[in-house]
A and B are shown apart, each in its own frame.
Chain A
């Protein structure tokens, strides 16, 4: 693990930039624990102040300090992304490994469900969910729903690896030594798909955060929990841009873009690392 990190740091500029961006975002999120203001309260500071030495990123029309509010928002947004990514990883792993290993009708049934989830437009379905669950919609519930919808593409990737593992000799050995299917999947095959799981986790976080921001901007989430999307929603509600309070929108937007680019670069560099051909090229092979 450490050597992988060292190699990535040494040869991969995308990884370095991604790491810096994600670290900044993580520091922001960690600062929320030191915040002088509670996250939900309003009219704590004078409203509509531009960035200054007292309020580094200005204050909102609701009387919140943008900097400290942003630390809560990014923490909630990140934990939402992590929640969705972890839950959907479990589903993707179970479906992908099982479909790839079992083959036959199990594979066919799982994959037709899988293909459906890849194709179906998820956004209208999420809006339908919000519409019928309006009053009970909370962040954990939304995360669960999104995890149930967002596993399909990664399950396909995992299946493709599982298919090749199935024909390898060690799988035959485990079968003959009497291991059960779930034991083979968990102990023998799981380690081989972990690199893919890591890189898809980043992409899945990006996907879920993107949809959360979009839903929140429209007001289709629990807008009382501070998130990046929620901040933009409230800024829009107070017509911040027209009123010239640009810092209320610009800083959350900037921070979420940093999150996206950072996570994406980490995912890309890991993907490249997994692929031996491009790793060789990177380390100074031919081409």
Chain B
């Protein structure tokens, strides 16, 4: 039990370190900028129409505080952190006066849902097929799958998303290619809305799955093909154990542990795919929000999304790390 607490403490420290370094990085980047974000944001807002001088002065003051440009650098740093800890990134400029936090809160469930479902499908499917391919090395279908995985795996997200868009948008238009759900539906737990969300998520999810599948497949295949030469597997086979049982209880189980670590480490990378996939398919998630915020010059929103995504990914990694001892009882005692 003590060992588990030590493991838990270590992971929590790791979590805090990641969030700390990540948020500091955001602070440093924004403060190293040669551009004055306050004046830029104000000119972005005032260009849409006339605003009273009082309102501009108030906005300048609140923007200076928001971007942490008020006071000495150390004061700026403290203000920045207290804002982050309260989840308060001020009002969005492109959707004034909606707070940045409200925009992110609206987009986050879409991204989280898409990412969690497609990541789980990818991981389970990739490891299952990869495990089979590593164990039954003479099977032709599985060999072919390996070749396809090698070919597809290194292609960037944008290209796959684009290909899907061309296939299902122009050549064979059976699926919706843009948006998160049909516009005319009431959001909530009712069948028309849920099914519409599901249908709209097929293509974005498919592009994420197609790209992710290959690396899990190849990783698991090489892990398993190393394990099958271990003495205990050879012994189990010579002892006449059912090959399905050998694969399930001896080979797969032992190969799974590094793949779980891999899952935690790949979470940050998944976000790359999510941003471009969401943008290509017009999915109403955090990625679309981020890209549109850059186009609109919305400083607070860009900073907010970056910070929230760092924290969200760190939480994901923490959860996987905490589940890790359940899968591999050997590891947590170190």
Q: Which residues of A contact B (CB under 8 A)?
A: 14, 112-113, 115-116, 118-125, 127-136, 153, 206, 209-211, 213-214, 217-218, 220, 232, 241, 249, 253, 256-257, 260-261, 263-265, 268, 277-278, 287
Once bound together, how far apart are the Cα atoms of A153 and B268, in whole Å?
12
B22 x A116 contact (CB < 8 A): yes
Q: A124-B306, A135-B35 are in contact. Are A118 and B272 (CB under 8 A)?
A: no
Q: For residue A139, give the distance in angstroms from its CB to the closest CB of chain B.
A: 18
Q: For residue B283, give the distance in angstroms from its CB to the closest CB of chain A.
A: 15
B150 x A119 contact (CB < 8 A): no
1/0 per residue B269-308: CB within 8 Å of A?
1011001100100000000001100100001001101100
Q: For residue A155, give the distance in angstroms from its CB to the closest CB of chain B.
A: 13
Most B CB atoms within 10 A — which of A115, A127, A131, A134? A131
B155 x A260 contact (CB < 8 A): yes
B309 x A124 contact (CB < 8 A): yes
* Chain B positions 1-46 with a Cβ under 8 Å from a chain A Cβ: 14, 17-18, 21-22, 25-26, 29-30, 32-35, 37
Contacts of B18 in A (CB 8 A): 115-116, 119-120
A287 x B229 contact (CB < 8 A): yes
* Chain B positions 306-334 with a Cβ under 8 Å from a chain A Cβ: 306, 309-310, 313-314, 317
Which 7 residue pairs across A and B have the least CB separation, nearest first? A132-B33, A121-B271, A264-B154, A210-B156, A260-B154, A123-B272, A124-B306
Contacts of B306 in A (CB 8 A): 124-125, 127-128
A125 partner, pick from B25, B35, B157, B314, beta carbons under 8 A: B25
A121 x B272 contact (CB < 8 A): yes
Q: For residue A107, give the distance in angstroms from its CB to the closest CB of chain B.
A: 15
What are 22 A-B contacts defined by CB distance under 8 Å?
A112-B14, A116-B22, A119-B268, A119-B313, A120-B18, A120-B21, A120-B268, A120-B310, A123-B271, A123-B272, A124-B271, A124-B275, A129-B29, A131-B302, A132-B30, A153-B265, A214-B156, A214-B158, A218-B276, A232-B158, A277-B229, A278-B222
Q: Answer whether residue B206 sits at the interface, using C-beta atoms and an 8 A cutoff.
A: no
Contacts of B275 in A (CB 8 A): 123-124, 127, 214
Contacts of A210 in B (CB 8 A): 154, 156-157
A220 x B305 contact (CB < 8 A): no
Q: A133-B33, A133-B34, A260-B154 are in contact. Are A118 and B268 (CB under 8 A)?
A: yes
1/0 per residue B155-190: CB within 8 Å of A?
111110010001000100000000000000000000
B159 x A256 contact (CB < 8 A): yes
Most A CB atoms within 10 A — which of B17, B267, B276? B276
Contacts of A128 in B (CB 8 A): 26, 29-30, 302-303, 306
A116 x B21 contact (CB < 8 A): yes
Contacts of B228 in A (CB 8 A): 287
A131 x B294 contact (CB < 8 A): yes
Name the residue on B nearest A250 (C-beta).
B166
Contacts of A115 in B (CB 8 A): 14, 17-18
Q: For residue A22, give the distance in angstroms from its CB to the closest CB of chain B.
A: 12
Once bound together, how far apart are the Cα atoms of A135 and B37, in whole Å?
13
A136 x B34 contact (CB < 8 A): yes
A277 x B226 contact (CB < 8 A): yes
1/0 per residue B243-267: CB within 8 Å of A?
0000000000000000000001101
Contacts of B156 in A (CB 8 A): 209-211, 213-214, 256, 260
Q: For residue B304, give the distance in angstroms from its CB to the closest CB of chain A.
A: 10
Once bound together, how far apart are the Cα atoms of A257 and B303, in whole Å?
33
A119 x B267 contact (CB < 8 A): yes
Q: For residue A203, give the distance in angstroms from its CB to the closest CB of chain B.
A: 9
Once bound together, how far apart are the Cα atoms of A132 and B302, in whole Å?
10
Contacts of B137 in A (CB 8 A): 287
A264 x B153 contact (CB < 8 A): yes
B29 x A206 contact (CB < 8 A): no
Once bound together, how far apart are the Cα atoms of A271 and B305, in whole Å?
37
Once bound together, how far apart are the Cα atoms of A124 and B313, in whole Å?
12
Contacts of B314 in A (CB 8 A): 119-120
A119 partner, pick from B30, B303, B317, beta carbons under 8 A: B317
Once bound together, how far apart are the Cα atoms of A232 and B299, in whole Å?
27
Once bound together, how far apart are the Cα atoms of A268 and B150, in whole Å?
9
Contacts of B310 in A (CB 8 A): 120-121, 124-125
Name the residue on A nearest B305 (C-beta).
A124
B264 x A119 contact (CB < 8 A): yes
Q: Answer whether residue B151 sits at the interface, using C-beta atoms and an 8 A cutoff.
A: yes
Contacts of B29 in A (CB 8 A): 125, 128-129, 132
Q: A128-B302, A128-B303, A214-B272 are in contact. Are A121 and B313 (CB under 8 A)?
A: yes
Q: For residue A95, give the distance in angstroms from its CB to the closest CB of chain B.
A: 15
B22 x A257 contact (CB < 8 A): no
Contacts of A131 in B (CB 8 A): 294, 299, 302
Name the residue on A nearest B169 (C-beta).
A241
1/0 per residue B82-116: CB within 8 Å of A?
00000000000000000000000000000000000
B150 partner, pick from A14, A134, A277, beta carbons under 8 A: A14
Name the residue on B nearest A219 (C-beta).
B295
Once bound together, how far apart are the Cα atoms of A153 and B299, in whole Å?
31
B35 x A134 contact (CB < 8 A): yes
A122 x B313 contact (CB < 8 A): no
B154 x A261 contact (CB < 8 A): yes
B166 x A130 contact (CB < 8 A): no
Q: For residue B136, give the distance in angstroms from its CB to the closest CB of chain A.
A: 12
